[in-house]
Amino acid sequence: MPNLKLVASDPADILNLCSSLHNKSGPQVQIKINNYLKAKTGSFVTFMIPLLKESEEAVVQVIGENVLDHELRFPFVDDSIQLAVKRRRSFKGSTKDLYTDLQNMLKTVINPLPDRYLNVPVPHPSQDIIALLVCLVDYDEIDNAEYMCTNLVQDCFRYCFGMVINSLAFEEEKRLKLQCQSLLLVARRLFSHLGHLPELLKEIMVEARRLTNAERCSLFLLDPDHQELVAKVFDGKDGKDEIRIQKDQGIAGYVVASGKLLNIRDAYKHPLFFKGMDEVTGFRTRNILCFPIRDEETVIGVAQLCNKIGGFHFDVFDEEVAEAFSIYCGISIMHSLVYKKIQDAQARSKLSNELMMYHMKVNDDDLKKVLFCDKSHKHPHFEDFDFSPRVLPIKEVSCYACKMFEDLNMITTFHIKKHTLTRFLLFAKKNYRETPYHNWMHAFSVAHFSYLLLKNLKLIELGYLTSLEGLTLMVACICHDLDHRGTTNSFQMKSGTTLASLYSSEGSVMERHHLAQAICILNTEGCNIFDGLSQNDYTHSLDLLKEMILATDLAHHFKIFSEQQKLVDNYQKDDPNHKRLFIALLMTCCDLSDQTKSWKVTKNIALLIYKEFFSQGDLEKSMGSRPLDMMDRDKANIPQLQIQFLSDIIIPLFDTLKGIFPESACLVEAARFNRDCWGRAVDLFANNWPEDLSSLEILTDPELERQVLLSVVKS
């Protein structure tokens, strides 16, 4: 057969091989050719290594007659492959120099593994590239063995190349088809989690890892208000603290800005990669595939996949899958957010109906009684730090509240109408429930202390606060516990209340509810105390109001208190961060100011607080839960709890205030005196009252107050 251009092969054998390759799958084609070359070259085993130009990877799917469970992909890193491709001629080498995973795979077929092998390059017939390599392990040692083996391989592929390439392409198409089917299943799974965004995000990360065979995944959503990327779930795990990064930082920031997928083959060589995270976690990032997630208009987040499993890096097919997958991600996330808004709207509607049933409108007669009151409302100690506003007649409290705004010249400065101020205060009063402690009297006491701070420390005159900040501080104190239910944030969360469903994702459940009620009152006709402000001042006052009310959450106080303590040595009035910390400090001081009054007042406050606590504890018991000891009327040791509260929170808090304003030292002294009184009460509780009396019953006994004060005076 003179037309066959063969160097070392029998034409009949080549024809028989070609005729046997029809209607075979990709692996079966490779097995046929492997067996043919094994017989012709006398090799122990042969296999092909297709070279992927797009991803610069070598692929092994079949070794001899063994089809691998998972194809092996590796880079052109070992010398035998590099030299065979670069020189375009066969390369004889040692199997010890092969890619480690390939060596291990070969050992499952040949053990012990022979040392000698030959790499034969096979060029593409129409492109100037090496398309694949044929590896002959332990071939016949005859004269000109390498020359003969090379010609046998090249003779074979001169006529079988098309079948091999087509079968490989067919296998890739099959893989894509399976991935498309997987995407449809993914869409089904994603849309079954629309009701809960964190669960949806976890499902997205699980599916992203599975589709691309990645080791890790992180998903960030864009927070447009703060221009940050936020991850509340990282690598499929809920974290106590969300992770936030600037939207223009790092690899994720680049993808957000460009809106384009980024495939990084070597993370440590990329300028945007931050090595510090690997150093902290001990995790080694090799390669990254980061792709944007879009809604109909813009990028709403990014997914970042790390470390391709079973491959050197993510390839073009991973990129195609990621881009297709991102469409489903965007649709499902946006639908989840819309669904959450609908749920929130329903919860607000339910809450509004509940409030409407509970609260009534301000009576015009009540409004007139305050507006046209002819009493002077003067108390000789009203401006003293040790004065407790709780001694004032409850009917006159609204008048005293108006007096505080007037005395600070806020009515004139901000053009507040007297009837607007009065209606605002009466609406706020109506929105406080008749709980033992968190009621209207508490709100007034907190506002009164803010009045004392503004007045006695000259916060506005000395430039610590602007007039607008002073006004908002007073308003925030009035509103900071609106519609308080007498229960804690943790109770709301554990009980799954309407408030928890509405605000739990943001934290500070009750404080956010208080803020929402404050905005509701300001939006009520005739109640907007900020109505005379300019547009800019109005917007700023609402931002301040939010910060101030949220600052009354003690959990927030604990997070920032160490930073607040640093203000003592270096408070800069013009530093925005210092101002934010300072305002939060003032709000906490106001909220807890009852602890700086006389022992009698403090004891009565404790009685009110623990009535609330024990009511919640009783409710938790009825629900089958175990309350904290401080909430359990059968276990709480009130004097010990008060000593701990004063020592751990109150005294350090007011000591910090004293560090900035030495003239407030009397507040720390009062708190320490009260701690001493509670210390005396510990022994009195244990020795002077029957065991069958509860802590609350002992607190209400006038004899306790007399004995404590007598004991302190004697000491």
* DSSP string for residues in 61-72: EEETTEEEEEEE
Under 8 Å between Cβ of 311 and 57: yes
Total residue length of the chain: 715
Domains within the chain, CATH numbers bracketed: 11-169 (3.30.450.40), 192-341 (3.30.450.40), 359-574 (1.10.1300.10), 592-715 (1.10.1300.10)
Return the sign of the alpha-carbon dihedral for residues 308, 165, 66, 37.
Answer: negative
- Per-residue pLDDT, 195: 73
List, as own/partner pairs, every contact residues 651-656 make where C-beta atoms lie below 8 angstroms and the sequence separation is at least 24, other chains included. 651/675, 652/561, 652/565, 653/557, 653/561, 653/585, 653/588, 653/589, 653/592, 654/589, 654/596, 656/561, 656/564, 656/565, 656/567, 656/568, 656/585
- Per-residue pLDDT, 99: 77
Angle (CA) 537 543 549, round 5°:
130
Find the helix or strand (DSSP H, E) in which 704 lies.
helix 702-714
Distance of alpha carbon 55 from alpha carbon 71, whole angstroms: 15
- Share of residues in the chain with pLDDT > 70 (%): 93
Least confident of 136-145, 373-382, 665-674: 136-145
Q: Mean pLDDT across the chain, nearest whole number?
A: 86
- Per-residue pLDDT, 688: 64
Please check if 124 is assigned to a binding site.
no
Q: What are φ and ψ of residue 115, in 5° steps?
A: -85, -30
- Per-residue pLDDT, 83: 78
Q: Active site residue: 313, 438, 484, 557, which one?
A: 438
- Per-residue pLDDT, 689: 61
Find the helix or strand (DSSP H, E) in which 47 lies.
strand 45-52
**pLDDT of 260 over the 80 cut:** yes
- As a whole number, mean pLDDT of residues 248-262 equals 90
Chain segment 680-690, per-residue pLDDT in tens: 888 777 776 66
- Per-residue pLDDT, 690: 65
Retrieve residue 262's tokens: 């980024």
Please check if 196 is assigned to a binding site.
no
CA trace torsion 172, 176, 178, 180 (10° rounding): 180
Please check if 127 is assigned to a binding site.
no
Q: What are φ and ψ of residue 213, in 5° steps?
A: 60, 50
- Per-residue pLDDT, 376: 84
- Per-residue pLDDT, 357: 46
Return the sign of the alpha-carbon dihedral for residues 146, 147, 151, 152.
Answer: negative
Q: Residue 26, SS3? A: helix
CA-to-CA dists, residue 407 to 220, 378, 404, 454, angstroms: 50, 12, 5, 11
Chain segment 470-512, per-residue pLDDT in tens: 999 999 999 999 999 999 989 988 888 878 877 776 778 999 9
Under 8 Å between Cβ of 703 and 597: no
Least confident of 147-161, 477-491, 543-557: 147-161
**Of the ranges 136-150, 294-308, 397-411, the best mean pLDDT one:** 397-411
- Per-residue pLDDT, 249: 85
- As a whole number, mean pLDDT of residues 82-98 equals 82
Please check if 689 is assigned to a binding site.
no
Least confident of 277-286, 403-412, 467-476, 593-602: 277-286
Least confident of 29-38, 251-260, 582-591, 695-704: 695-704
Helices (H), 551-624: 554-565, 567-570, 576-591, 599-622
- As a whole number, mean pLDDT of residues 234-238 equals 53
- As a whole number, mean pLDDT of residues 630-659 equals 94
Helices (H), 408-508: 410-413, 418-430, 440-456, 467-479, 489-495, 498-503
Terminal alpha carbon distance of the chain: 123
Under 8 Å between Cβ of 352 and 403: no
Find the helix or strand (DSSP H, E) in which 687 lies.
helix 665-687
Residue type, 434: E
- As a whole number, mean pLDDT of residues 395-413 equals 96
Please check if 359 is assigned to a binding site.
no
**pLDDT of 360 over the 70 cut:** no
381 counts as catalytic: no
CA trace torsion 369, 375, 381, 386 (10° rounding): -10
Contacts of 350 (CB under 8 A, 6+ apart): 498
**Of the ranges 166-175, 195-204, 324-333, 556-565, the best mean pLDDT one:** 556-565
Q: Which residue has the higher pLDDT, 692 or 628?
A: 628
Please check if 480 is assigned to a binding site.
yes
CA-to-CA dists, residue 14 to 18, 26, 120, angstroms: 6, 19, 18
Please check if 69 is assigned to a binding site.
no
- Per-residue pLDDT, 648: 96
**pLDDT of 6 over the 60 cut:** no
- Residues forming beta bridges with residue 59, ordered by sequence position: 73
Distance of alpha carbon 594 from alpha carbon 449, whole angstroms: 9
- Residues forming beta bridges with residue 135, ordered by sequence position: 47, 119
Return the sign of the alpha-carbon dihedral for residues 10, 12, 17, 18.
Answer: positive
**pLDDT of 301 over the 60 cut:** yes
Distance of alpha carbon 632 from alpha carbon 127, whole angstroms: 82
Contacts of 631 (CB under 8 A, 6+ apart): 613, 614, 616, 617, 620
Please check if 241 is assigned to a binding site.
no
